[in-house]
Amino acid sequence: MSSTTLSEAYRDHPLSLHHVIPLDFNTIPTVPDSHLWPPSDDDFPSDDRLSIPVVDLMDPDAVKLIGDACETWGVFHLTGHGIPLSLLEHVEVEGRQLFSLPAEQKLKALRSPGGATGYGVAQISPFFPKYMWHEGFTIMGSPLEQAIQLWPDDHKRFCDVMDDYQKQMKMLAEKVISLIMRSLEIHEEMIRIWPEPAGTALQLNSYPSCPDPNRVMGLAPHTDSLLLTILHQSATTTGLQIFKEEVGWVLVYPIHGALVVNVGDLLHILSNARFPSVLHRAIVSQSKHRLSVAYFYGPPPDFNVTPLVKCLNSDQMTGFLSVTVKEYISIKAKNLEKALSLIRI
Ligand SMILES: C=C1C[C@]23C[C@@]1(O)CC[C@H]2[C@@]12CCC[C@@](C)(C(=O)O1)[C@H]2[C@@H]3C(=O)O
Ligand SMILES: O=C(O)CCC(=O)C(=O)O
Ligand SMILES: [Fe+2]
Protein backbone atom coordinates (compact mmCIF):
# COMPACT_ATOMS: atom_id res chain seq x y z
CA MET A 1 0.00 0.00 0.00
CA SER A 2 1.47 3.39 -0.93
CA SER A 3 1.49 5.83 1.97
CA THR A 4 1.08 9.58 1.88
CA THR A 5 3.82 11.80 3.28
CA LEU A 6 3.00 14.83 5.39
CA SER A 7 4.18 17.25 2.70
CA GLU A 8 1.89 15.50 0.17
CA ALA A 9 -0.99 15.89 2.61
CA TYR A 10 -0.45 19.68 2.50
CA ARG A 11 0.07 19.79 -1.27
CA ASP A 12 -3.65 19.78 -2.13
CA HIS A 13 -4.19 23.25 -0.72
CA PRO A 14 -2.22 25.73 -2.82
CA LEU A 15 -1.98 29.34 -1.67
CA SER A 16 -1.70 32.33 -3.97
CA LEU A 17 1.80 33.81 -4.19
CA HIS A 18 0.93 36.94 -2.19
CA HIS A 19 0.07 34.54 0.60
CA VAL A 20 3.57 33.10 0.55
CA ILE A 21 6.06 35.99 0.26
CA PRO A 22 6.88 37.81 3.51
CA LEU A 23 7.58 41.54 3.74
CA ASP A 24 11.24 42.60 3.56
CA PHE A 25 11.34 43.59 7.23
CA ASN A 26 14.92 44.91 6.98
CA THR A 27 14.03 47.75 4.68
CA ILE A 28 10.68 48.88 6.01
CA PRO A 29 10.76 51.95 8.31
CA THR A 30 7.06 52.00 9.31
CA VAL A 31 4.28 49.45 9.50
CA PRO A 32 2.34 49.36 6.22
CA ASP A 33 -1.47 49.28 6.33
CA SER A 34 -1.40 45.66 5.11
CA HIS A 35 0.20 44.71 8.46
CA LEU A 36 -1.78 46.98 10.83
CA TRP A 37 -4.21 44.92 12.93
CA PRO A 38 -7.29 46.49 14.52
CA PRO A 39 -7.41 46.25 18.34
CA SER A 40 -9.20 43.09 19.44
CA ASP A 41 -11.78 42.66 22.24
CA ASP A 42 -9.83 39.96 24.04
CA ASP A 43 -6.63 42.02 24.27
CA PHE A 44 -7.17 43.06 27.89
CA PRO A 45 -4.12 42.31 30.03
CA SER A 46 -4.43 39.13 32.08
CA ASP A 47 -3.01 38.42 35.51
CA ASP A 48 0.77 38.63 35.08
CA ARG A 49 1.41 36.23 37.95
CA LEU A 50 -0.35 33.39 36.17
CA SER A 51 1.94 30.93 34.41
CA ILE A 52 1.74 27.57 32.72
CA PRO A 53 2.79 24.47 34.71
CA VAL A 54 6.42 23.36 34.73
CA VAL A 55 7.04 19.60 34.59
CA ASP A 56 10.37 17.88 35.09
CA LEU A 57 10.51 14.80 32.88
CA MET A 58 12.65 13.09 35.52
CA ASP A 59 10.06 13.65 38.25
CA PRO A 60 8.76 10.31 39.55
CA ASP A 61 5.26 11.81 39.24
CA ALA A 62 5.81 12.99 35.64
CA VAL A 63 2.92 10.88 34.28
CA LYS A 64 0.37 12.49 36.58
CA LEU A 65 1.89 15.97 36.27
CA ILE A 66 1.84 15.84 32.46
CA GLY A 67 -1.71 14.42 32.41
CA ASP A 68 -2.92 17.19 34.74
CA ALA A 69 -1.13 19.90 32.74
CA CYS A 70 -2.62 18.67 29.46
CA GLU A 71 -6.08 18.54 31.00
CA THR A 72 -6.11 21.95 32.68
CA TRP A 73 -3.84 24.03 30.42
CA GLY A 74 -3.12 22.07 27.23
CA VAL A 75 0.43 23.37 27.53
CA PHE A 76 3.36 23.12 29.91
CA HIS A 77 7.07 23.87 30.29
CA LEU A 78 9.20 20.75 30.14
CA THR A 79 12.52 20.59 32.00
CA GLY A 80 14.80 17.59 32.49
CA HIS A 81 14.14 16.63 28.86
CA GLY A 82 17.73 15.65 28.07
CA ILE A 83 18.09 17.78 24.91
CA PRO A 84 21.57 19.34 25.17
CA LEU A 85 21.53 23.10 25.70
CA SER A 86 24.20 23.36 23.01
CA LEU A 87 21.78 21.87 20.45
CA LEU A 88 19.08 24.40 21.40
CA GLU A 89 21.65 27.16 20.98
CA HIS A 90 22.88 25.81 17.65
CA VAL A 91 19.39 25.55 16.18
CA GLU A 92 18.74 29.16 17.18
CA VAL A 93 22.05 30.38 15.73
CA GLU A 94 21.34 28.60 12.43
CA GLY A 95 17.81 30.01 12.35
CA ARG A 96 19.02 33.55 12.97
CA GLN A 97 21.62 33.15 10.25
CA LEU A 98 18.93 32.08 7.80
CA PHE A 99 16.55 34.96 8.55
CA SER A 100 19.37 37.53 8.47
CA LEU A 101 20.07 36.72 4.80
CA PRO A 102 19.03 39.42 2.30
CA ALA A 103 15.39 39.06 1.16
CA GLU A 104 16.33 38.12 -2.41
CA GLN A 105 18.46 35.26 -1.08
CA LYS A 106 15.69 33.93 1.17
CA LEU A 107 13.29 34.04 -1.77
CA LYS A 108 15.46 31.45 -3.53
CA ALA A 109 14.10 28.95 -0.99
CA LEU A 110 10.52 30.22 -1.22
CA ARG A 111 7.81 27.66 -0.49
CA SER A 112 6.03 26.89 -3.74
CA PRO A 113 2.32 27.87 -3.66
CA GLY A 114 1.25 24.19 -3.42
CA GLY A 115 4.24 23.16 -1.32
CA ALA A 116 4.73 22.64 2.38
CA THR A 117 8.43 23.32 2.89
CA GLY A 118 10.72 26.33 2.52
CA TYR A 119 10.63 30.03 3.29
CA GLY A 120 7.36 31.96 3.52
CA VAL A 121 4.54 33.45 5.56
CA ALA A 122 2.58 31.25 7.99
CA GLN A 123 0.30 28.72 6.26
CA ILE A 124 -2.70 30.15 8.15
CA SER A 125 -2.26 33.65 6.64
CA PRO A 126 -5.15 33.48 4.12
CA PHE A 127 -7.65 33.24 7.00
CA PHE A 128 -6.78 36.68 8.32
CA PRO A 129 -7.50 40.10 6.80
CA LYS A 130 -4.04 41.45 7.69
CA TYR A 131 -0.53 40.05 7.29
CA MET A 132 1.55 38.94 10.22
CA TRP A 133 4.87 40.41 11.44
CA HIS A 134 6.48 37.06 10.80
CA GLU A 135 8.49 35.00 8.38
CA GLY A 136 8.86 31.22 8.61
CA PHE A 137 10.89 28.35 7.26
CA THR A 138 9.30 24.90 7.20
CA ILE A 139 11.31 21.69 7.09
CA MET A 140 9.93 18.17 6.61
CA GLY A 141 12.72 15.60 6.65
CA SER A 142 15.96 16.82 5.10
CA PRO A 143 16.29 20.58 4.50
CA LEU A 144 19.02 19.94 1.88
CA GLU A 145 17.09 21.02 -1.23
CA GLN A 146 16.31 24.48 0.17
CA ALA A 147 19.60 24.89 2.04
CA ILE A 148 21.51 24.46 -1.24
CA GLN A 149 19.52 27.36 -2.69
CA LEU A 150 20.36 29.55 0.31
CA TRP A 151 24.03 28.63 0.71
CA PRO A 152 25.27 26.84 -2.44
CA ASP A 153 28.71 26.10 -0.91
CA ASP A 154 28.08 26.22 2.77
CA HIS A 155 24.89 24.41 3.78
CA LYS A 156 26.29 21.40 5.64
CA ARG A 157 26.25 22.85 9.13
CA PHE A 158 22.64 24.06 8.77
CA CYS A 159 21.53 20.63 7.51
CA ASP A 160 23.44 18.72 10.20
CA VAL A 161 21.96 20.83 13.00
CA MET A 162 18.39 20.55 11.64
CA ASP A 163 18.76 16.77 11.13
CA ASP A 164 20.12 16.26 14.63
CA TYR A 165 17.44 18.49 16.14
CA GLN A 166 14.62 16.64 14.37
CA LYS A 167 16.00 13.25 15.49
CA GLN A 168 16.20 14.33 19.12
CA MET A 169 12.79 16.01 19.02
CA LYS A 170 11.19 12.87 17.58
CA MET A 171 12.52 10.77 20.45
CA LEU A 172 11.37 13.35 22.97
CA ALA A 173 7.90 13.67 21.40
CA GLU A 174 7.48 9.88 21.54
CA LYS A 175 8.58 9.82 25.18
CA VAL A 176 6.11 12.58 26.12
CA ILE A 177 3.30 10.87 24.20
CA SER A 178 3.99 7.59 25.98
CA LEU A 179 3.66 9.42 29.32
CA ILE A 180 0.44 11.07 28.14
CA MET A 181 -0.92 7.63 27.17
CA ARG A 182 0.05 6.23 30.56
CA SER A 183 -1.78 9.11 32.21
CA LEU A 184 -4.86 7.76 30.38
CA GLU A 185 -4.09 4.30 31.79
CA ILE A 186 -3.23 2.94 28.40
CA HIS A 187 -0.91 -0.03 28.85
CA GLU A 188 2.63 -0.12 27.57
CA GLU A 189 1.89 -2.59 24.76
CA MET A 190 -0.92 -0.37 23.45
CA ILE A 191 1.07 2.86 23.50
CA ARG A 192 2.42 2.57 19.96
CA ILE A 193 -0.92 2.69 18.23
CA TRP A 194 0.34 4.05 14.93
CA PRO A 195 3.07 2.74 12.63
CA GLU A 196 6.14 4.56 11.35
CA PRO A 197 6.81 6.91 9.69
CA ALA A 198 5.36 9.55 11.97
CA GLY A 199 4.21 12.82 10.35
CA THR A 200 6.61 15.47 11.57
CA ALA A 201 7.62 19.02 10.66
CA LEU A 202 10.04 21.62 11.94
CA GLN A 203 9.10 25.29 11.72
CA LEU A 204 11.59 28.12 12.26
CA ASN A 205 9.64 31.28 13.17
CA SER A 206 11.17 34.75 12.92
CA TYR A 207 9.54 37.85 14.42
CA PRO A 208 11.58 40.92 13.48
CA SER A 209 11.52 43.89 15.87
CA CYS A 210 8.70 46.27 14.97
CA PRO A 211 8.38 50.08 15.28
CA ASP A 212 4.73 49.72 16.38
CA PRO A 213 4.49 46.31 18.13
CA ASN A 214 1.05 46.88 19.68
CA ARG A 215 -0.59 47.27 16.30
CA VAL A 216 0.81 44.17 14.60
CA MET A 217 0.45 40.43 15.12
CA GLY A 218 3.44 38.07 15.17
CA LEU A 219 1.46 34.88 14.66
CA ALA A 220 -2.33 35.06 14.72
CA PRO A 221 -4.34 32.95 17.21
CA HIS A 222 -4.43 29.30 16.21
CA THR A 223 -4.29 25.77 17.52
CA ASP A 224 -1.66 23.40 16.15
CA SER A 225 -3.03 20.62 13.98
CA LEU A 226 -1.01 17.54 14.88
CA LEU A 227 -0.77 15.61 18.18
CA LEU A 228 1.85 17.57 20.00
CA THR A 229 4.14 20.56 19.45
CA ILE A 230 7.49 21.05 21.18
CA LEU A 231 8.64 24.67 21.06
CA HIS A 232 12.00 26.23 21.79
CA GLN A 233 11.66 30.00 22.17
CA SER A 234 14.62 32.35 22.39
CA ALA A 235 15.32 33.25 26.01
CA THR A 236 15.87 36.95 25.30
CA THR A 237 12.33 38.02 24.37
CA THR A 238 8.81 37.08 25.35
CA GLY A 239 6.21 36.62 22.64
CA LEU A 240 4.21 33.39 23.05
CA GLN A 241 0.78 33.84 24.62
CA ILE A 242 -1.79 31.15 25.31
CA PHE A 243 -5.49 31.74 25.72
CA LYS A 244 -7.05 30.50 28.96
CA GLU A 245 -10.83 30.53 29.35
CA GLU A 246 -12.02 33.10 31.88
CA VAL A 247 -8.51 34.53 32.13
CA GLY A 248 -7.49 35.76 28.70
CA TRP A 249 -4.05 35.79 27.06
CA VAL A 250 -1.33 34.46 29.34
CA LEU A 251 2.29 35.24 28.46
CA VAL A 252 4.65 32.26 28.48
CA TYR A 253 7.89 33.65 29.93
CA PRO A 254 10.85 31.70 28.55
CA ILE A 255 12.62 29.49 31.09
CA HIS A 256 16.26 28.98 30.16
CA GLY A 257 16.68 25.46 28.76
CA ALA A 258 13.02 24.49 29.12
CA LEU A 259 10.84 23.54 26.15
CA VAL A 260 7.16 24.41 25.76
CA VAL A 261 4.95 21.40 24.97
CA ASN A 262 1.42 21.98 23.73
CA VAL A 263 -1.52 19.77 22.85
CA GLY A 264 -2.59 19.82 19.20
CA ASP A 265 -5.94 19.05 17.55
CA LEU A 266 -5.24 15.36 16.91
CA LEU A 267 -4.61 14.75 20.62
CA HIS A 268 -7.77 16.72 21.35
CA ILE A 269 -9.65 14.20 19.16
CA LEU A 270 -7.77 11.11 20.42
CA SER A 271 -8.45 12.07 24.03
CA ASN A 272 -12.13 12.82 23.26
CA ALA A 273 -11.50 16.47 24.30
CA ARG A 274 -10.07 15.53 27.71
CA PHE A 275 -6.81 17.19 26.58
CA PRO A 276 -7.92 20.32 24.71
CA SER A 277 -5.72 21.79 22.00
CA VAL A 278 -4.64 25.20 23.21
CA LEU A 279 -5.26 28.46 21.36
CA HIS A 280 -2.05 30.49 21.17
CA ARG A 281 -0.46 33.40 19.32
CA ALA A 282 2.80 35.34 19.22
CA ILE A 283 3.28 39.05 19.81
CA VAL A 284 6.37 41.02 18.82
CA SER A 285 8.89 43.36 20.40
CA GLN A 286 9.93 46.89 19.53
CA SER A 287 13.62 46.27 20.04
CA LYS A 288 14.34 42.55 19.77
CA HIS A 289 14.20 40.07 16.94
CA ARG A 290 12.54 36.94 18.36
CA LEU A 291 13.06 33.44 17.08
CA SER A 292 11.17 30.26 17.91
CA VAL A 293 11.55 26.70 16.69
CA ALA A 294 8.45 24.50 16.69
CA TYR A 295 8.53 20.71 16.18
CA PHE A 296 5.21 19.17 15.20
CA TYR A 297 4.59 15.45 15.76
CA GLY A 298 1.69 13.33 14.57
CA PRO A 299 0.79 9.85 13.28
CA PRO A 300 1.35 9.07 9.59
CA PRO A 301 -1.09 10.88 7.24
CA ASP A 302 -3.08 7.71 6.41
CA PHE A 303 -3.66 6.84 10.08
CA ASN A 304 -7.25 6.97 11.31
CA VAL A 305 -7.66 9.19 14.36
CA THR A 306 -10.58 8.30 16.55
CA PRO A 307 -11.23 8.87 20.27
CA LEU A 308 -9.53 6.22 22.43
CA VAL A 309 -11.92 3.80 24.13
CA LYS A 310 -10.32 4.72 27.47
CA CYS A 311 -11.46 8.31 26.90
CA LEU A 312 -15.11 7.59 26.22
CA ASN A 313 -17.67 8.66 28.80
CA SER A 314 -19.62 6.18 30.90
CA ASP A 315 -22.24 6.03 28.11
CA GLN A 316 -19.43 5.11 25.66
CA MET A 317 -20.20 8.19 23.57
CA THR A 318 -17.51 9.27 21.17
CA GLY A 319 -17.37 13.01 20.62
CA PHE A 320 -15.72 13.06 17.18
CA LEU A 321 -16.04 11.45 13.78
CA SER A 322 -13.10 9.29 12.88
CA VAL A 323 -10.78 11.02 10.34
CA THR A 324 -7.43 10.22 8.82
CA VAL A 325 -4.65 12.71 9.57
CA LYS A 326 -4.73 13.69 5.89
CA GLU A 327 -8.48 14.32 5.99
CA TYR A 328 -8.13 16.42 9.11
CA ILE A 329 -5.35 18.50 7.51
CA SER A 330 -7.64 19.09 4.57
CA ILE A 331 -10.59 20.14 6.78
CA LYS A 332 -8.28 22.45 8.73
CA ALA A 333 -6.80 23.96 5.55
CA LYS A 334 -10.31 24.95 4.47
CA ASN A 335 -11.86 25.89 7.81
CA LEU A 336 -9.06 26.70 10.29
CA GLU A 337 -10.47 27.08 13.80
CA LYS A 338 -13.84 25.61 12.85
CA ALA A 339 -12.21 22.29 11.89
CA LEU A 340 -12.69 20.55 15.26
CA SER A 341 -16.31 21.58 15.55
CA LEU A 342 -16.99 20.27 12.02
CA ILE A 343 -16.09 16.74 13.07
CA ARG A 344 -17.72 16.93 16.51
CA ILE A 345 -20.67 14.56 16.91
C1 LIG B 1 2.89 20.24 9.94
C2 LIG B 1 2.56 21.51 9.95
C3 LIG B 1 1.92 22.20 11.08
C4 LIG B 1 1.76 23.63 10.58
C5 LIG B 1 1.61 23.43 9.11
C6 LIG B 1 2.75 22.46 8.83
O7 LIG B 1 2.66 21.95 7.55
C8 LIG B 1 4.09 23.13 8.97
C9 LIG B 1 3.98 24.47 9.61
C10 LIG B 1 3.04 24.45 10.82
C11 LIG B 1 2.55 25.84 11.15
C12 LIG B 1 3.56 26.69 11.94
C13 LIG B 1 2.94 28.07 12.23
C14 LIG B 1 1.51 27.94 12.78
C15 LIG B 1 0.70 26.96 11.90
C16 LIG B 1 -0.77 26.95 12.31
C17 LIG B 1 0.95 27.29 10.46
O18 LIG B 1 0.37 28.09 9.78
O19 LIG B 1 2.04 26.57 10.02
C20 LIG B 1 1.32 25.58 11.97
C21 LIG B 1 0.62 24.45 11.21
C22 LIG B 1 -0.37 23.65 12.03
O23 LIG B 1 -0.10 23.22 13.16
O24 LIG B 1 -1.46 23.47 11.52
O1 LIG C 1 6.63 31.63 18.19
C2 LIG C 1 5.90 31.12 19.01
O3 LIG C 1 6.04 31.29 20.21
C4 LIG C 1 4.70 30.32 18.57
C5 LIG C 1 4.97 29.49 17.33
C6 LIG C 1 3.78 28.68 16.98
O7 LIG C 1 2.73 28.78 17.54
C8 LIG C 1 3.89 27.69 15.90
O9 LIG C 1 4.93 27.59 15.23
O10 LIG C 1 2.89 26.97 15.68
FE1 LIG D 1 1.42 27.11 17.05
Q: What is the pLDDT of residues 288-323, one digit of tens each?
A: 999 999 999 999 999 999 998 888 877 768 889 999
The reported pLDDT for the residue numbered 138 is 97
Residues 290, 105: Cα–Cα separation, whole Å: 20
Atom of ligand 2 nearest to the CA of 233: 3
Residue 151 CA to ligand 2 center (angstroms) comes to: 26
Mutation to probe ligand 2, out of 132, 200, 231, 291 (largest number of atoms < 8 A from CB): 231
Average pLDDT over residues 46-64: 92
Nearest residue (CA) to ligand 2, atom 1: 292
Question: For position 17, what pLDDT does the model report?
Answer: 61
Of residues 40 and 161, the one with the higher pLDDT is 161
How many angstroms is it from 240 CA to the middle of ligand 1?
A: 15
Q: Is the CB of 240 under 6 A from ligand 2?
A: yes
Using CB distances shorter than 6 Å, the residues near ligand 1 are: 10, 116, 122-124, 138, 201, 203, 222, 224-226, 294, 296
DSSP 62: H
Contact yes or no for 239/287 (Cβ under 8 A):
no
344 is catalytic: no
pLDDT of residue 281: 97
Three-class DSSP category at 272: coil
Checking if the pLDDT of 274 tops 60, the result is yes
Please report, for the chain, the start and end positions of each structural domain, with discontinuous segments joined by +: 6-342
Please determine, for residue 270, whether its predicted confidence score (pLDDT) is greater than 60: yes
pLDDT at residue number 19: 64
pLDDT at 48 over 80: no
Instruction: List C-alpha distances in Å: 49 to 43, 232, 247.
Output: 17, 22, 12
Is the beta carbon of 92 within 6 A of some atom in ligand 2? Answer: no
Least confident of 60-64, 200-204, 309-313: 309-313
300: left (phi over 0), alpha (psi -120 to 50) or beta: beta
Identify the pLDDT of residue 62: 98
- pLDDT tops 60 at residue 189: no
Q: What fold is seen in the domain 6-342?
A: Jelly Rolls (2.60.120)
Residues 200-216 as b/e (b if ≥16 CB within 10 A, e otherwise) read: bbbbbbbbbebeebeeb
- The pLDDT of residue 309 is 83
Please give the number of the atom of ligand 1 that sits closest to the Cα of 201.
1
Instruction: Give the ligand with the smallest distance to the CA of 260.
Output: 2
pTM of the model: 0.95
> Atom 5 in ligand 1: which residue has the minimum CA distance?
123
Which atom number of ligand 2 is nearest to the Cα of residue 294?
9
Q: Beta strand pairing status for 75-79 and 54-56?
A: parallel
Pair 118, 104: CB distance under 8 Å? no
- Which of 49, 111, 290, 344 is the catalytic position? 290
At position 28, the amino acid (one-letter code) is I
Residue nearest to atom 10 of ligand 1 (CA): 203
